[in-house]
Structure 1
Amino acid sequence: MEEYFSIIPEELNEKTGLNGRQIEERILKNKSNQLDTQSAGKTTKEIILKNCMTLFNFLNIMLFITVISIGSFRNSFFMVSILVNTSMGIFQEIKAKKTIEKLSVLKQNQVTVLREGKEVTIKKEEIVLDDLLFLAKGMQVPVDVCALSQGLFVDESMITGESELVEKMRGDTIYSGSLVMQGKIKSIVTQVGEETYIAKLTKEAKSFKPMRSKIQIAIDRILRVIAIGIIPIALLVLLNQFVLSAMDLSLVESRKLAIIGSTTAISSLIPEGLVLLTSVALAAGVIKLSKIKVLAQSLPAIETLARVDVLCLDKTGTITEGKMSVEEVVYYHNTKEEVDATIAFLLKQDTESNMSTEALKKVFHEDTSYRFKKENYVPFSSESKSQAIEINGQGTFVLGAFDLIVNNIETSIKLEIESALKAGYRILAFAHTPSSILDNQVPKDGQIIALILIKDKAKSDAKQILTYFKEQGIKVKIISGDHPDTVAGIARDVGIKGKAISSKEIPDSKNELREIVEETSIFGRITPDQKRDLVQALQENGHTVAMVGDGINDILALKKSDCGITFGIASEAVKSVTHFILLEGNFSVLPQVVREGRKVINNINRVAGMNILRVIYVLTLILLLTFSRQLFPIESINLALVSSLAIGVPCALLILENDDQKIKDDFFRRIKTYVIPAGVTIGLTIMVMYMITYYAPIYSKFVGNIEVQLYVDFVVDATLIIGLTQFYLLYLLCRPLTVYRIKILFFSLALFFISYFIPVVNEFFGLSPVHSFRFFVPVVLSIVLLTIISRIVRDRTQWKSPTILLLTFFLFTAVAGIGLYLQQLHKDTVVTTTYWGKIPEAFDPLTEPIVDPEKKAVLQPLTDKLEVGASQTVSISYEGEELAKLEILPNVSMFDKQGIERKLNLPMVEGNPAETLHPGVYVKAEASNVSLHGWVIVDAKDVPTEVKKQLIE
């Protein structure tokens, strides 16, 4: 006892509590409970850091710096996308956080303390050290306290992990975070703020992980694989670009092209939109739910509720109005006046009112003519479903569930009970026994002296709501502490049929329980532990279980469920273990919550794979390029248009669709069946197109007799192939099509095509208007190949189907025909159009022209004076006819590719053009401002093959 009294300061009066001066002193000494002002979840700083400080962002920043350092500002545009994605993610999470905080204010419970002799209601953060704090049933203890009286039962599972009730005696410590399950006492605050046990425990819980949804886990797995693989793949890219490629890296421009190709490939391996899509969609869901006064206490809870396939309901206050009214009192053996007075005296001892006792207090009023003396009292318990009082000289009176408070019921009373149960009444019995209460154990050898019939009507919209859930394939289970027949009567009123079973019929065997819980929908007289066990059995059967309840007796089941739901009027202890709080207590909004969750997750499932597609086709292209010694053919800025219009726009619009169909766990199936085949198909198609340009002049045109390489046309076709194949994939992912999806697909496709005819867009993204349908053939072949692969992956037996066999025949026939055409085109090019003359490695461009061995092609300087840094115009002639003029900048290491294209549309190609056999003009300048070497290739139909062969050799 000395330890108990030592915690009470000498200046503190236990009967009056702290005074104003003492409170002020403690506030000045930072002895107030300021920890509670911190909002739950991540702080704003943590949200910003979480979105910014990622491996992928660090890689993107490094790539951005690299591209900027070589002056390729246009190819740094990918960083804009990163900044937008990161900013949107931060904005939506902070907005959702503020929404949750705003609604959380509505669900916060205040506490009662004794100050200056008065009971005062204050906010939890206003508690100070040594405050005298009242603890009552339903509270979550906000600070560490010491009990000043006995009779309190708490659940310390949040601290110990054990869900057993612990009785607290006078002088016992009660830690913050404990849930008061029974009793009411006065206590003294011993620790506040950062010094409370739960605060210290939270700091030490480094391994704590917040609730995560299935879609987040799936996306995290994908990101983990990419994060592990991106470093070795990046090294492979660098090896290909700088070691294995056929480029002459002694030239500055060659090195620039290699760097641009490397940054494009590596940055394209980062799916920056994947995490954004999920976090923004979930945050938007939280914000929408807030508009109907539903507080989602975590973002992943939305997905969990959307996946629910079993809904467990507590009857009272959920499907019923929760407005108990005493309809009738039936008396036996004793007089009405005596029974009423005794019940009123018993209720007077009950300081933990619930709906039943509140209804009783309206009927049974204290009669001062009866002078009772209390000897012992046992408060109401969810376990025993009763309360009892022992009165001096009169024995013990018990009020509670008729079938639990006495061992034997008279036959005549049984008949009346059965009749009342069929009518849907909740029945309380009042019994008397001469036995005494020993060790808080209520004797059950009494005799019923009165029955109290209580009515709680079903909500008018309950049947409609439960019908919705059944139509959505969600099983509904009613689990109540009331008598099974009472529960069954209410269940029938709301459209749930079936036999009700009681706690006595619940088997101890887990296997048997798993069978019963599947077959039965109505459970009565269920204890809190049994509610939890029923939920667990459903989970073990593979169900995702939601539990709706608002009572202390529902806490264990709410905690165990995948998704706990309660009402705004519930106690703080109940709210602390749930995921959703219906702030206005309106059960009818629950279908809307489910629909919103389904909408979010269905849309994420549908379009998230599109953000992985680029990773797959770029990876395919990287692996294929390793064996070809070629540079990465597309620049980052070229892919930006495709990513924006063929992925970003349609995905952003599709994520808004109202799709509330039952969720199917097909995220990985969609990726395996559609996304991976599409990515491999795109990568393979682009690689084949790239190699064909070195084999046949399909991207060439003649200027006079000179053939010009059309690099921009190749890029246009490549982006069209990627974009159109992506739209086909989007079509596959959107099936079955709805009017909304069709509109989005057509709108996005039209926007994608129109962008190629807008000069500003073309110039920015390095493209040109579509003036050829070369892309059409590879697009069709890609779509056919994707269709074949996806169908076979989805169902291996599909390869035998007539459709697949027909498509396969078409594909092979088309490829064979195209191959023959390209082979003939290649032969024609080699035989009829290729001739070249080598320019000496050093010459004076002011004095001597350069001619080919046959003296037909001439490279003639036109300027009179050559200055360092000045341009020089050179004339290209063939057989006396001037074909073109070329502007040379002698002080640069190599001609700017884009510059040459702009002036003459004559691209610069590295390496010996005799190897490519493509006609055109190829010039290479060395660092010296007066030396030049390279090749001129002109039309040479009249040159014999033997001469060409000799020249090439």
Structure 2
Amino acid sequence: MIDAAVPPPAETSASGLTAAQVAERVARGDVNDVPARSSRSTRDIIRGNVFTRFNAIIGTLFVLIMVFGAPQDGLFGLVIVANTAIGIIQELRAKKTLDALAVVGEAKPRVRRDGRIAEVSPRDLVLDDVCDIGSGEQVVVDGVVVEADGLELDESLLTGESDPVHKHPGDPVMSGSFVAAGNGAFRATKVGADAYAAKLAEEASRFTLTRSELKTGLDVILKYVTWLMVPVGILLLISQLRTSDDGFPGAVTGMVAGVVTMVPEGLMLLTSVAFAVGVVRLGRKQCLVQELPAIEGLARVDVVCLDKTGTLTEGGMDVGEIRTLAPDLPVKEALGALGTSDPRPNASLQAIIDACPAPDGSGWRVTGVEPFSSARKWSGATFADEGSWLLGAPDVLLPQGDPVLAEVDELGAQGLRVLLLAKASGPLTDQAGEGAAPAALVVLEQRLRPDAGNTLKYFAGQQVATKVISGDNALSVGAVAGKLGLAGADHPVDARTLPEDRGELARVLEDNTVFGRVTPQQKRAMVAALQSKGHTVAMTGDGVNDVLALKDSDIGVAMGSGSAASRAVAQIVLLDNKFATLPSVVGEGRRVIGNIERVANLFLSKTVYSLLLSLLIGVASLPFPFLPRHLTLIGTLTIGTPAFFLALGPNTERARPGFVPRVLRFAIPAGIIAAGCTFLTYWLARLNHSSNLDQDRTAATITLFMVAMWILAIVARPYTWWKIALIAAMGCGYLLALWVPFLSDFFALYPDNLPNWGIAVGTGVAGMFILELGWHVSGWLQRRQPAAAGAAAGA
């Protein structure tokens, strides 16, 4: 916790610092110097891509080949260099995009300096700066309150307590909290690393490439691969020492050929590249990804919870009508005076200010203010000679059954927003609304986002459920959603009737689409109820009342023009405030995750067939059937190059749970078939006494390439013109290596023994047929399982 209130130094006051005082504090280092929040440093990026476990393994094997083997067999080392360079370049591009967008999207505190108020970067704050704060703004450094006008802070992001805390001059404030209601100012007492939330903010906002379900699953697979490499490498070295005609150098070459192919070195790299490219693509659409795992989460989203205001509707509003309920009361003067009472009016109050000018006369001088609160649903002010007036939700300020509410419901059903102006009978307390005399209805026309309808249709077409959750009147919210064509908008639910039991609440949420009069705590409970049913929930919002739900949702999406608090807790920020950007965001997540799974099938199939071939050769005590250059050629043409393109191609399929089991169900059978066919070809070729070792190895290479190409052909489905062209280009590349003399010499390929040719092609075709048959059977079984489950449920 922060220290108790500290008295200001003698040379400072609530009016703020002077330029000389700021310069003095900068000179002695009393500045809010916190690490960049969006990305890791260039040094960390280079180190993270170069000094990896697999680069160490590959580097060691490369050195062994350079010492004991032929330089051509060290080609795999150059591939690692190229892949690492690609990873560094892509991540640096992502860093540049993130850093630029973070500057645009970051909250800029307002400080008092030289008698004026100016916006500065959080990093330019200094000790003893006096910062102004208003509703929805975040406290960026620790401090002590010097002014308070109905100031309430929500410290839930730090303490977990959701109830706002009233603050008065002399009270401490913590960085990371935000203003729930009212206005005020505080003096900075702790800046930089000394601030309470600095370490938490740095950790939460750091550019990450590892904390995700996908990366965790891959790490598990790769950990076991690493452990298996050691005993298999030892077995291969012993067997090659027995069989190699070249002694120890030949044995080392055979061992390296077997072990290096087991390393799925490009898989982790391509995962990082796909994430980084996703960040760059979204950045071009003015979408700031504050945490990279959010891209993965987007691919799994099946429920999107939308706040109406600022999401389905634009920020601005217009006063369509003022219906006077008490002709003897000065309605327009009261509305104009309420507008002047709030230095930072929201959209509703701004529309009233535009329609009702401030009244003349000292009788309307403001003597007390109660700011708007999401919990109360009203704001108010007390004037010198005119008493206290309230402006808020009619169904909160009026008792149930009041005839005015029928009029309100009729207007709300047309998609209009209605506020009630009421004259309070007593002082401004939390109970001031009880017994207040209704004075007028203020009818506000909301501006629908022109792109909202098409966006809702997109989610419906992608089987993503949409829930509209708003603090406004349920009928009004339903009318707005109905105008946009949202299914279920014709029966909106008033959240005040919702059950508190999580199971019952989840059932209501499953059956309904539109909810009005939702409190911040209810929004949070709704997110939790949906998650309890196994849903992956994305929450959009822009206001203070959305913060708790944004924080608890799987993916929080904030509008760039929203409150600083909502932007701070969201993983995704739409800087251009365009709701239509959301389909692109979801689509990018699906593209990244779907393509990573696609290429994982390729890399892990290679790991499986390399492991099995090494075991078979070691047990059979045969010379290893490949030189390292053979496997480099096959890996480049059937995995490395096509995987790079497949990882960046379009993909709209929604991510499903069970990534690791699903990949292994494909990779293990495919790898077994590839290893079995290749070993059979090599064994039969060795029985052919008319051929030599180089020709036998060429035959094994042909079979492995054919089977590996068919694995690629299966993984690339469904076909498009560029995928067909990619597969064809890889096939032509191998034919060139096989038949162009200088290339065949370089890769040690000698396809001039007809019996071996027949064995290689025949076994390869058989392997391709088995793969295709297995793919069709597995697809048939997967289709049968849901049908059987449905039949059992029906029975």
- Indicate whether 1:422 and 2:413 are aligned: yes
- Indicate whether 1:281 and 2:274 are aligned: yes
Report the CA distance between 1:87 and its aligned residue: 1.3
Do the aligned partners of residues 469 and 327 (structure 1) sit closer, same or farther apart at CA in structure 2, a change above 3 Å counting?
A: same
Residue 424 of structure 2 is matched in structure 1 by 433
Moved more, 352-361 or 364-373: 364-373
Q: Work out the CA distance in 1 between the residues paired with 2:118 and 2:656.
A: 52
Do the aligned partners of residues 486 and 207 (structure 1) sit closer, same or farther apart at CA in structure 2, a change above 3 Å counting?
A: closer
Q: How does 1:782-793 map to 2 (within 5 A)?
A: 782-790=767-775
Count of residues in correspondence between the two structures: 776
Q: Which has the higher helix share?
A: 2
Q: Work out the CA distance in 2 between the residues paired with 1:161 and 1:760.
A: 70
Show CA shifts across 1:219-240 (max 9, x none).
2232232234333433443444
Q: How does 1:184-223 map to 2 (within 5 A)?
A: 184-200=183-199, 212-223=211-222
Q: Work out the CA distance in 2 between the residues paired with 1:321 and 1:207.
A: 32
Report the CA distance between 1:484 and its aligned residue: 0.5
- Indicate whether 1:745 and 2:732 are aligned: no
Aligned match of 1:258 in 251, 268, 277?
A: 251
Moved more, 569-578 or 215-224: 215-224
Residue 600 of structure 1 is matched in structure 2 by 592
Show CA shifts across 1:162-192 (max 9, x none).
4443333322222222222222211111112
Show CA shifts across 1:589-635 (max 9, x none).
22233233322322222222111122111110122223212332212
- Indicate whether 1:450 and 2:445 are aligned: no
Q: Work out the CA distance in 1 between the residues paired with 2:204 and 2:558.
A: 27
Aligned match of 2:539 in 543, 547, 550?
A: 547
Residue 53 of structure 2 is matched in structure 1 by 55
2:306–2:466 contact (8 Å) kept in structure 1: yes
1:673–1:791 contact (8 Å) kept in structure 2: no
Q: Work out the CA distance in 1 between the residues paired with 2:510 and 2:125.
A: 48
Q: How does 1:37-76 map to 2 (within 5 A)?
A: 38-76=36-74
Residue 298 of structure 1 is matched in structure 2 by 291
2:612–2:672 contact (8 Å) kept in structure 1: yes
Report the CA distance between 1:393 and its aligned residue: 7.0
- Larger Rg, first or second structure (1 or 2): 1
- Indicate whether 1:348 and 2:348 are aligned: no
Q: Work out the CA distance in 1 between the residues paired with 2:585 and 2:208.
A: 25
Residue 510 of structure 1 is matched in structure 2 by 502
Secondary structure of the 1:626 match is: helix
Which residue type is aligned with residue 592 of structure 2? Answer: V
Aligned match of 1:612 in 601, 604, 607?
A: 604
Q: Work out the CA distance in 2 between the residues paired with 1:504 and 1:317.
A: 22
Which residue type is aligned with residue 89 of structure 2? Answer: F
Residue 828 of structure 1 is matched in structure 2 by none
Q: How does 1:933-944 map to 2 (within 5 A)?
A: none
Show CA shifts across 1:492-530 (max 9, x none).
100113211112121111110110111110000111111
2:157–2:176 contact (8 Å) kept in structure 1: yes
Residue 472 of structure 2 is matched in structure 1 by 482
Do the aligned partners of residues 339 and 39 (structure 1) sit closer, same or farther apart at CA in structure 2, a change above 3 Å counting?
A: same
Residue 584 of structure 1 is matched in structure 2 by 576
Report the CA distance between 1:771 and its aligned residue: 6.4
- Indicate whether 1:97 and 2:95 are aligned: yes
Q: Work out the CA distance in 1 between the residues paired with 2:345 and 2:705.
A: 66
TM-score (norm 2): 0.92
Residue 792 of structure 2 is matched in structure 1 by none
Moved more, 486-495 or 683-692: 683-692
Do the aligned partners of residues 716 and 665 (structure 1) sit closer, same or farther apart at CA in structure 2, a change above 3 Å counting?
A: farther
Residue 308 of structure 2 is matched in structure 1 by 315
Q: Work out the CA distance in 2 between the residues paired with 1:451 and 1:794.
A: 62
Secondary structure of the 1:61 match is: helix
Q: Work out the CA distance in 2 between the residues paired with 1:203 and 1:663.
A: 30
Q: How does 1:322-333 map to 2 (within 5 A)?
A: 322-333=315-326
Q: Work out the CA distance in 1 between the residues paired with 2:283 and 2:172.
A: 38
1:654–1:744 contact (8 Å) kept in structure 2: no
Residue 146 of structure 2 is matched in structure 1 by 148
Residue 11 of structure 1 is matched in structure 2 by 11
Which residue type is aligned with residue 311 of structure 1? Answer: V
Report the CA distance between 1:770 and its aligned residue: 6.2
Residue 174 of structure 2 is matched in structure 1 by 175
Report the CA distance between 1:719 and its aligned residue: 1.6
Residue 923 of structure 1 is matched in structure 2 by none
Show CA shifts across 1:359-379 (max 9, x none).
111122221236046554321
When the two chains are superposed, the root-mean-square deviation of aligned CA atoms in Å is: 2.7
Q: Work out the CA distance in 1 between the residues paired with 2:240 and 2:686.
A: 18
Moved more, 450-459 or 710-719: 710-719
Which residue type is aligned with residue 762 of structure 2? Answer: V
Q: Work out the CA distance in 2 between the residues paired with 1:627 and 1:535.
A: 56
Q: Work out the CA distance in 2 between the residues paired with 1:503 and 1:470.
A: 24
2:209–2:272 contact (8 Å) kept in structure 1: no
Which residue type is aligned with residue 122 of structure 2? Answer: K
Q: Work out the CA distance in 1 between the residues paired with 2:715 and 2:205.
A: 40
Do the aligned partners of residues 609 and 61 (structure 1) sit closer, same or farther apart at CA in structure 2, a change above 3 Å counting?
A: same
Which residue type is aligned with residue 39 of structure 2? Answer: G
- Indicate whether 1:538 and 2:530 are aligned: yes
Moved more, 210-219 or 82-91: 210-219
Report the CA distance between 1:257 and its aligned residue: 1.0
Show CA shifts across 1:773-807 (max 9, x none).
321111022223334555566667999xxxxxxxx
Report the CA distance between 1:333 and its aligned residue: 2.2
Q: Work out the CA distance in 2 between the residues paired with 1:126 and 1:383.
A: 35
Show CA shifts across 1:536-555 (max 9, x none).
22222222222121111111
Moved more, 485-494 or 755-764: 755-764
Do the aligned partners of residues 650 and 504 (structure 1) sit closer, same or farther apart at CA in structure 2, a change above 3 Å counting?
A: same
Q: Work out the CA distance in 2 between the residues paired with 1:166 and 1:668.
A: 46
Q: How does 1:654-803 map to 2 (within 5 A)?
A: 654-665=646-657, 667-668=659-660, 670-697=662-689, 700=690, 709-769=691-751, 772=754, 773-774=757-758, 775-790=760-775
| Structure with greater contact order relative to length (CA < 8 Å, sep ≥ 6) | 2
Do the aligned partners of residues 206 and 353 (structure 1) sit closer, same or farther apart at CA in structure 2, a change above 3 Å counting?
A: closer
Secondary structure of the 2:649 match is: coil
Residue 911 of structure 1 is matched in structure 2 by none
Residue 30 of structure 2 is matched in structure 1 by 31
Q: Work out the CA distance in 2 between the residues paired with 1:415 and 1:205.
A: 48
1:646–1:752 contact (8 Å) kept in structure 2: no
- In the alignment, structure 2 segments of 5+ residues that lack a partner are 785-795
Do the aligned partners of residues 359 and 202 (structure 1) sit closer, same or farther apart at CA in structure 2, a change above 3 Å counting?
A: closer
Which residue type is aligned with residue 391 of structure 2? Answer: L
Q: Work out the CA distance in 2 between the residues paired with 1:403 and 1:143.
A: 39
Which residue type is aligned with residue 174 of structure 2? Answer: Y
Secondary structure of the 1:431 match is: strand
1:182–1:381 contact (8 Å) kept in structure 2: yes
1:155–1:178 contact (8 Å) kept in structure 2: yes
Q: Work out the CA distance in 2 between the residues paired with 1:642 and 1:491.
A: 55
Residue 787 of structure 2 is matched in structure 1 by none
Do the aligned partners of residues 202 and 351 (structure 1) sit closer, same or farther apart at CA in structure 2, a change above 3 Å counting?
A: closer
Q: Work out the CA distance in 2 between the residues paired with 1:373 and 1:633.
A: 93
Identity %: 33
Which residue type is aligned with residue 494 of structure 2? Answer: S
1:409–1:447 contact (8 Å) kept in structure 2: no
Residue 651 of structure 1 is matched in structure 2 by 643
Q: Work out the CA distance in 1 between the residues paired with 2:653 and 2:178.
A: 38
Residue 117 of structure 1 is matched in structure 2 by 115
Moved more, 590-599 or 492-501: 590-599
Do the aligned partners of residues 204 and 601 (structure 1) sit closer, same or farther apart at CA in structure 2, a change above 3 Å counting?
A: closer
TM-score (norm 1): 0.77
Q: Work out the CA distance in 1 between the residues paired with 2:340 and 2:206.
A: 48
Aligned match of 1:639 in 610, 631, 634?
A: 631
Show CA shifts across 1:451-507 (max 9, x none).
111110322332222112111111111111110000111111001132111121211
